[in-house]
Amino acid sequence: FEGGGGGGGFGAFGGGQASADPKQRFLRHWTLQPMDIRQIRLLDLVAWVSYQTKIPSSRLQVTCSPLTAQEPFSAYLWRNGRGNRGESDGMKHTLADMYRHDPIVVQMSIMPIPRVLFERDFAVEEESHLRHRLICVRLFNDAVEVVGCIAIRIWMWLSMADLLKEVKRRVTPEMIARGFDPSRPLRVYQPKDTGTLTLPGSVMTKVAEHPLGTNMQEITDIDDGQPLSHVLNCIAKPGRDNPFYWHLRVEHADDPDTAERLVKEELKHVMVVHASPRENNRAFGHQFLITMERDERVGSLKQRIQRKVKLSDKEFAKWRFYKWDLIHKSFLRDDDTLDWNAKALMLLAEHDNPNSRTHQARRDRPLRIR
């Protein structure tokens, strides 16, 4: 369902007066047609899904989240046969009361979860909130292109190896045709991660941190036996219910020879990040990793970056590379090198977009003092 400020929207519901029994209403009037969501209550939505799926409404849980919100409200809309405010919540409130401005994604899952699957008591609401999550996984090819998106509802006590096994099972021929090979070694990142996770006995490699606060953290080095609730330090937090924002990124890992040289420190990873100002709407894409040898020149790195992202000479000429030292921005020449001993190697890039002719004309006009 999608609702705006005026309450209009589309729904899989028919018109007519609401009957006392929602199930009977859908038996008689269910059609696919545009519908004003001010006439549809939460109880109607649950009853319709219950009728279509043959699942009792007492076993349905309804949650929702805006597509672009980082931390939307985390309260469930419907659980165990009642609304989040009481027994009559689903009778009083319509969908228009809940959907004000942004499009809303409604997620519906079967509840309750069996007790035997948990190490702790399922009756604690916070534990159940952490234990069963919808995770959005985006698949990338070698050219740093998104080839597909997979939504997986998974138990948080499972491991990263279980998650990757499910991802490989759901890879489609279209994703393979666009350059994603599930048979190759894979690595996983949390693109939106603002915290640092420390686990005893585990290896966590923090690749680099963007000056503006975003970073990319590799999580496949953690022991496969670690539960997802301990590994996914952003997705597993209460309140972060939007899987389309707090997602995972899966891409091909380094080949065995490169991985061995990385262990021997003959190579190091360099993160390439688009670091233009936030108001610049011409960002070229996602951050990515390349390998660098000791004393390798920036010009050589630029050539490999161009081959990786498959850009023409004309387009790549608009990129300018620089480094960030605390508060200083220093542009790099082709014969410069990066600091091999730095804790995190990062190559920042921005587009060289000249001002339009209108802005240039305004700037060149003579100054008039009155």
pLDDT for the residue numbered 297: 92
What fold is seen in the domain 262-351? Ubiquitin-like (UB roll) (3.10.20)
And the tokens for 237?
A: 């937090």
Q: What does the domain layout of the chain look like in residue ranges?
A: 2-112, 131-252, 262-351
Q: What is the pLDDT along the chain (370 residues), one digit of tens a residue?
A: 332 233 333 333 333 333 444 444 444 434 444 556 677 777 777 777 777 777 777 666 666 655 555 554 444 565 555 555 544 454 566 666 655 544 555 555 555 444 333 333 333 344 444 566 778 888 999 988 889 888 887 877 788 888 888 899 999 999 999 999 999 888 887 764 333 222 222 222 233 333 333 344 455 454 556 777 777 766 656 555 566 777 788 888 888 788 888 878 888 888 887 765 554 444 556 778 888 898 899 999 999 999 998 888 988 888 888 887 666 778 889 999 888 887 667 788 877 665 555 455 555 556 667 6
pLDDT for the residue numbered 39: 73
Class of domain 131-252: alpha beta
pLDDT for the residue numbered 242: 65
Q: Indicate the burial class of 255 (C-beta count within 10 angstroms; 0-12, 13-18, 19 or more).
A: exposed
pLDDT for the residue numbered 266: 85
Looking at residue 365, its amino acid is R
And the tokens for 118?
A: 């948990």
Does 131-252 match 262-351 in CATH topology?
yes
Does the reported pTM lie above 0.75? Answer: no
pLDDT for the residue numbered 212: 32
Please state, in angstroms and rounded to a whole number, the distance separating the CA atoms of residues 21 and 293.
71
